Amino acid sequence: MFNTFWWSTKGDASHGINWLKWDKLTISKGGGGMGFRDLKAFNMSLLGKQGWALINNPNGLVSRML
């Protein structure tokens, strides 16, 4: 889906060239990629951060709601 967004022409998903694989686009700019975030890894890190906050702050608003 991301490749289609970046590389399709005039909103037509069936045309256009996918110049690079998404794995290559997520490499840092210094490493030759475009520096896009790997969304799966980013989502997992945010979920881990939320879990850590729930464990360390049991009296917080979100912890009490859950």
pTM metric for this prediction = 0.53
pLDDT for residue 4 is more than 80: no
Q: Are 59 and 50 in contact (CB under 8 A)?
A: no
Mean pLDDT value across the chain: 81
Give the per-residue pLDDT at 51: 92
pLDDT in tens, 28-46: 888 887 788 888 889 999 9
Greater confidence (7 vs 46) lies with 46
Q: What is the full DSSP assignment across 13-60?
A: TTSS---S-HHHHTS-GGGTS-----HHHHHHHHHHHHHHHHHH-TTS
Average pLDDT estimate for 13-39:
77
